[in-house]
Chain A
Amino acid sequence: MINHRNIKEALLIRRVEETFLQLFSKGRLNGTVHTCVGQEFSAVAFAGQLKKSDFIFSNHRCHGHYLSFTKDCYGLIAELMGKKTGTSGGVGSSQHLCNNNFFSNGIQGGIVPVAAGYALANKLQKNGNIGVVFIGDGTLGEGVLYETMNIISKWDIPLMIVCENNFYAQSTPQHVNLSGDILKRAEAFDIKTFKSNTWDVENIIKNAEQSIDYVRTSGKPCFHLVDTYRLNAHSKGDDDRDAEEIQKYRDKDFLIQFEKGDKETYAKYLVQINEKIDSVLSQVENDTELSINEYYSEIKDSETSDWSDVKYEDKRQVDLINQFFIDMMSKDEKTVFLGEDILSPYGGAFKVAKNLSFKYPERVFSTPISEGALAGISNGLALAGFKPYAEIMFGDFVTLVMDQIINHASKFHHMYNGKALCPVVLRTPMGGKRGYGPTHSQTMDKFLVGIDNITTVALNALINPIELYTAIHSEKHPVIVIENKVDYGRKSSSLRLKNFNIQRNAEKYPVIKISPYSSNPDITIVTYGGNAAWIIENLNKLIIETDRIPEVIVLTKIHPVDYTEIIRSVQNTKELYFVEEGSKYNGIGSEVIAGVVEKATFSIKAKRIGALPVPIPAVKSLEEIVLPGIDTLIQAIINK
């Protein structure tokens, strides 16, 4: 027997989506709509049978999952109509919904590790909650799915992957792109599998319940394959499927059959549902849209004038960073450390995690070589209220996590209209001068700045990393931290200068100012990160050879840049040199110089100094030429 509550829920989903298609045709919806017409019972079976405290991550085809889990018809309709009362304030629309423990995102595959992180948070809290992540058969092509299946199986994470197999990836039939067997994929990772379809409704509801129970009681993941068929196009007007094939599935469709079998009941339900939708629509009509001030606020430059001498530490930087984590994991139980090869006694490639896994084995996770999943799991932990620190072993590998940075961490807060916070921290050692060659030496910083809602901090040899990490720990939004391989071994006490005052301001991410003891500087050098040390060590040489007296400004926050001190210095010198280790084209120097030119009321001369635009060679003599050093800087100043 099928509970009529389920039938009504499925019918509501279908009617809401049909309403969306009508509104779309009338030009009332901005963007696009992916409907799940024909697939509704997958939503009803899984999303409808979870507890409120469980969670769901869904994809672009998420309306059914949303309605079944949240019952929030108003929030969904208002969202698609672009209203402030929508569940994501109209920012997210069809593919980006958020309501309590429901999240959806339009990126294929990327949601799977995020869901795994969210489930890991449940496991760490031992609260008995589980989660479901919905993917389609098209998503089986994404690599991060397999990274995550490996991890959830290895770590016993209570997450169910529901694969809604509608036999098409957008408009491409499955046989074109999919090899092998779907369930065997999960079985290869030792994940328990279930199989259902949306035409045998009684069976899918029973199977869903069983698989939910399995995950909850065993604390292990499972993979549930649901064969289904969408009766409408992937999105709008992109359907080249055979009409006969579609008709075959229409004939199998439960709701259509139910209408034929029991016209009266169907009609009664339909009237009730239509009334509900009409009533919501008429209210939503009058709702307002989000204003830009509610959505976005500009970042202002600092006005600080509090300067103090830099405090020198007689400890190596890496030991200070390690000290921060030892202390913070003890102080804050939500602190989690993830990375590759970080278990002690090895303690990570650069020993930042030394002894951490001995002290806090339950919150230090050494991941497989799966950067995408590592970052995604960290994002999920952060969404669930943890403070994850994800270590990417070499800066060069950040290319593998860009999807998680840009399409997930960066966007969650805004696209869910402030309902979600993702205070993830991504740390990575950057830079060359160690002879590691092309793929372990490049400075990727320029790819890690200018990302919306993400602060990018670069450690340097002058500011105690414990101070910076303490500030980072309190951030509510994502932070990327660039560490420097050469600086790890440096003590700031080695950077005292006789003829200069080295001061820092009182900002959370301080700006450091290195000014001549009494002379008036005539050039300004702006830099950050690992460059600060070699510039400071060579300042006298620079003056002797160039006949110019510099003021050096070291930024610790490279996005967003605080221009106040740069402008003040350049106003005096009118000449600006920006030094970065990455290649200079479209680099951080380009951005900072553009920012200065926009803000300055005077004209300046400026020059970028960076690496040559070739992969970093391992051979020492060439590496020294390719990467910027004091001679590059001196030549740049002399030839200005």
Chain B
Amino acid sequence: MTILQKITVPHESVNDQYLTVITLCFKSGDIVKKNDIILELETSKTLLTVEAQADGFISYFCDKGDEVAVNDLIAQITDEPYLHEELLVTTHENDKKSEIKSEKRTDVETIFSIKAMEIIAKEGIKKELFNEFDFVTETVVLDYLNPGRQRQKEKNEIASQHSPKGSARNDIFQNDEKISITKLSNAKKREIEYLSSVQEAGLVSTIYIDVNLGSFFELVNPQLEYFKESILPVVIYESSRLLLKYPLLNAFYANGEIAVYNNVNIGVAIDIDDGLKVVKIHSTNDLGLNSIENKLMELVEKYQDRKLETVDLIDVTFTITDLSSNGAYFFTPLINKNNSAILGIANSNDHTNNVILSLSFDHRVTEGKVATNFLFELKERLISYSLHKRDHDIRKVVCYKCMKPLNDDLGEIGFIKVVNAQGLDKFICDTCLFYH
């Protein structure tokens, strides 16, 4: 027998040490074809599917609903049915042990440790049962005698890690008749774990600011393709530039140290009836307004088609949540794990183009003054869009440092003509000039 593929639990996100088995697409012993989906795993952020890389016989070492640890072997594909699995099943059904013999690789001989032999002798088991093994140690024999042993051991370990304060439930639910209990979904449990990370420390504060947008949309709408009447793309654009100036808001607290991200990857919280997800716009500060809009649209479509990949969800360095279109007037956003701040956008409900920006920040990483300055500067940038209307065509001018086209620059100053070190005429945007 040759193992064609070993399926171990992938390490998709630094935060997920355990994943949940959602679907097993076959039964152990079934024949699978290359590219068949053989199982699905749920991470804290997305579903992962695992495909067969070869034709062969599948054996699962996990059950639906199991929490499995990263790097665990959970399935394998072999060129012949996997005996170990059969052995466990059949030995419990009847006594046909001695019949279970399949061809093994001829040059592998089974070696028994002395301890294994002692137990085999004591329990009166046939040695041939282990023909498929290369080595048989005490552990292998004990696992055979008690098939649940290994699984149970692992489950106990998981359970002990996941419920540090075990007795709470008894206190709350003493009188079970008065309530009906719904088990939390794994996704919800992870959401709780995820948001607890920063909020649990209790050192989170939120600052609010009111912004009158004036004629903002008159100017911005013509530039936008999908998100007309939405402030979100411009907020993403401007925040990503501003975060370079406020690195502590693009950071996180970790064991007494502050980790500052080198990149700005803005995450946008979306929840369109299929669970809350934070999607990532990679290297946001390198993107122009239209690229941001396109990327956001692409992610929303992926969300709706349930085609988000892990890569769309990890490594978010700062989060923006926009509840303005939902009519929220005023809210306090919760900071995500491995972030130090989150920006909320709400709409004051008086049709005067006013928005309320809220910034929650982790006080272990930064302080109110920084957050306030950030918000004020963001406000000024947003207001600047409404100050002047452009009345002439924008030529195809590009900032030589960030490659942003003048088309995308809706700031007040526009581009500045400079002479570079080679003596050539260049254009530079005000962001690169003043903030880099």
Contacts and interface: CB of A to CB of B under 8 A. Distances in A.
A378 B219 CA distance: 79
A499 B108 CA distance: 5
The residue among B109, B114, B135, B138 with the most chain A CB atoms within 10 A of its own CB is B135
A542 B134 CA distance: 14
Nearest to A549: B135
B115 A516 contact: no
A365 B369 CA distance: 78
B403 interface: no
Given A518-B3, A543-B135, A499 B113 contact: no
Nearest to A545: B114
Contacts of B114: 544-545, 547
Nearest to A572: B71
Contacts, number: 47
A498 interface: yes
B112 interface: yes
A183 B135 CA distance: 74
Contacts of B137: 519, 522, 543, 547-549
Nearest to A539: B111
Contacts of B108: 498-499, 517-518
Nearest to A519: B135
A274 interface: no
A322 to B, nearest CB: 33
The residue among A517, A540, A546, A547 with the most chain B CB atoms within 10 A of its own CB is A547
Given A498-B107, A499-B108, A544 B133 contact: no
Nearest to B116: A547
Contacts of A546: 113
Given A499-B135, A518-B133, A544 B109 contact: no
Interface string B104-142: 010111011111100000000000000001110110100
A499 B111 CA distance: 9
Interface in A482-538: 498-500, 516-520, 522
A236 B111 CA distance: 73
A613 to B, nearest CB: 31
Contacts of A500: 134
Contact of B134 (A516, A547, A548): A516
A543 B109 contact: no
Contacts of B3: 518
Interface string B341-381: 00000000000000000000000000000000000000000
B151 to A, nearest CB: 15
A140 to B, nearest CB: 61
Contact of B115 (A517, A520, A547): A547
Nearest to B1: A518
Contacts of B112: 544
B436 to A, nearest CB: 25
Bin the interface of chain A by size: 10 to 19
Bin the interface of chain B by size: 10 to 19
A519 B133 contact: yes
B83 to A, nearest CB: 11
Nearest to A521: B135
A498 B135 CA distance: 11
Contact of A544 (B73, B113, B140): B113
B1 to A, nearest CB: 9
A518 B78 CA distance: 12
B144 to A, nearest CB: 14
A545 B133 CA distance: 17
A543 B111 contact: yes
Contacts of A499: 108-109, 111, 134-135
A518 B116 contact: no
A58 B138 CA distance: 68
A498 B104 CA distance: 13
A517 B109 CA distance: 10
A503 to B, nearest CB: 15
B75 to A, nearest CB: 15
A100 B290 CA distance: 61
B107 A516 contact: no
Contacts of B116: 547
Nearest to A546: B113
Contacts of B138: 547
A499 B104 CA distance: 12
A543 B113 contact: yes
B245 to A, nearest CB: 29
Nearest to B73: A520
A548 B137 CA distance: 7
Contacts of B105: 517
A632 to B, nearest CB: 18
A543 B136 CA distance: 9
A519 B133 CA distance: 7
Contacts of A517: 105, 108, 134
Contacts of B109: 498-499
B135 A516 contact: yes
Contacts of B140: 519
Interface in A424-469: none
Contact of A518 (B113, B115, B134): B134
A544 B117 CA distance: 9
A285 to B, nearest CB: 29
B193 to A, nearest CB: 21
Contacts of B134: 499-500, 516-519
B374 to A, nearest CB: 35
Given A516-B135, A518-B133, A547 B113 contact: yes
A545 B113 CA distance: 6
The residue among A516, A519, A540, A546 with the most chain B CB atoms within 10 A of its own CB is A519
Nearest to B137: A547
Nearest to B111: A540
Contacts of A516: 134-135
Contacts of A518: 3, 108, 133-134
Nearest to A548: B137
B85 to A, nearest CB: 13
A544 B116 CA distance: 9
9 contacts: A498-B107, A499-B109, A516-B135, A518-B3, A519-B137, A543-B111, A547-B113, A547-B116, A549-B137
Given A500-B134, A549-B137, 7 more contacts: A498-B109, A519-B135, A519-B137, A543-B111, A543-B113, A545-B114, A547-B138
Question: Which 7 A-B residue pairs are closest in the complex by CB-CB distance?
Answer: A547-B113, A517-B134, A547-B115, A499-B134, A519-B135, A498-B107, A547-B137
Interface of B: 3, 73, 105, 107-109, 111-116, 133-135, 137-138, 140
Interface of A: 498-500, 516-520, 522, 540, 543-549
